[in-house]
Every structure is written in C-alpha cells, then in structure tokens.
A = this chain, B = another copy of it.
Amino acid sequence: MTVDSETGTRGRTRKAILDAAIRVLAADPSASLGQIADAADVGRTTLHRYYPDRAELLTSVMQEAGRRLGDAAVRARLDEGTGLDAILRACQTLLQLGDLLTLMFTEVVSIDTCGPEHGFSQSLDDACARGLADGTLDTRLSPGWLQGILWSSLYLGWSELREGTTPPHDVVSQLLLTVRKALAAPGE
C-alpha cells in the first residue's frame, strides 16, 4: 500500500468519476452531480465520498486538464523547428485532448487557471514569437490573434471529430491545411 497516491480500486473509481465528469460537463456544463455519477456508473453517494463538493470535483478537473496540457506541450516539442511547424504540431497534439478542448473553450476550465505551472501558454507564446521572427508566420496578425485562430480552429476540428460524420483523417488534414493557410506568412 503506497503512502501517497491511491492504487487499485479507489484509484480506478476516482479516475472513472473524473473521466465521466469531463465527458458529461463537456456535453452540458450545468449537468448535475447525479448525471455525472450515473455516467461514471457510480452512486451519487460514492461520488461525494471522493469529491465532497462540486467545487472540489471541478478543481480536480482543472488539475487534470493542466496535467494533460503539460503532457501535450512536451509531446509537441514546441521549442523545436520553425514557429509555424511548432504550431502545426501543437494542433495535432491538442486535438487529442478531446472533451477537454470543449471544457477549455466553454470556460468551464480556463486555460490559464487550470494550472499555469504546466508552462503550455508560455511555450505557445514563445513559438508564436519565434514564428513571427523567423518569417514563417504572418506578421500582419497579432500574437493574440494567431493563438485565437489556433484554438478556434482546434475547437472546430474537435467538433467535427465528435460529430463522427467526417473520417478522423480528413478532419486532421483539413485542420492542418486551414491553420497553415491562415497563419503562414504571405510569401511562404
């Protein structure tokens, strides 16, 4: 029995609840704890055993978001290559966040509030600055706008994916094509 983090049954139950919360809240930000408990295949009592408050559950969702965002940042290797390439890599990696994208976009979870220490925002800022300097990004667009395009396109892509009507590969290729066209410097 480890001293700190949970193992076995408890750990699995806690994860099931957290996953259900992300899934259900993405579909309906004002979903009740009962709905979340149902989705997790768990009694409402059990949910309260793990997360006494709705607030504590949301906090845990934010922390989980921060963790996955941090992982994404590492996997995207935002500090390598040109700014544009880094951003396109970020696109592909972030798309895998799935429902978390919805939560971040609907501000159930704020990108910056969910744990600034993951350093994702900073890495992305750096990639933008690098791209504007190395001539791969369109200098007529402000850094804030560039990132806005990234996030909103990402959200669009995830919406299509979730819909399920477009094959995943087509979504990814249209997403990358769009972001590249929108953000690339004119001459490029």
Q: Determine if B160 and A148 form an interchain contact, defined as CB atoms under 8 angstroms apart.
A: yes
Name the distance in Å between A107's Cβ and chain B's nearest Cβ: 10
Interface assignment of A182: CB less than 8 Å from any CB of chain B = yes
For A138, the chain B residues whose CB sits under 8 A away are 181
Q: Is A178 an interface residue (CB 8 A)?
A: yes
In the complex, residue of chain B having the shortest beta-carbon distance to the beta carbon of A178: B182
Within 8 A of B (CB), among A24-82: 29-30
- A170 CA to B138 CA, complexed, in Å: 15
A121 in the interface (beta carbon within 8 A): no
Q: Within the complex, what minimum Cβ distance (angstroms) separates A95 from chain B?
A: 14
Taking CB atoms, residues of chain B closer than 8 Å to A170 are: 142
Q: Is the CB of B174 within 8 A of A142?
A: yes
Q: Is A10 an interface residue (CB 8 A)?
A: no
Query: B177 and A141: CB pair below 8 A?
Result: yes
Stretch from A14-22, A86-94, A149-157 at the B interface: A149-157
Q: Which residues of B contact A166 (CB under 8 A)?
A: 142, 144
Would you mind naming 5 contact pairs between A and B with Cβ atoms under 8 Å apart? A141-B177, A141-B178, A142-B170, A152-B153, A178-B182
Chain A positions within 8 Å of B, measured between CB atoms, are: 29-30, 106, 138, 140-142, 144-145, 148-149, 151-153, 155-156, 159-160, 166, 170, 174, 177-178, 181-182
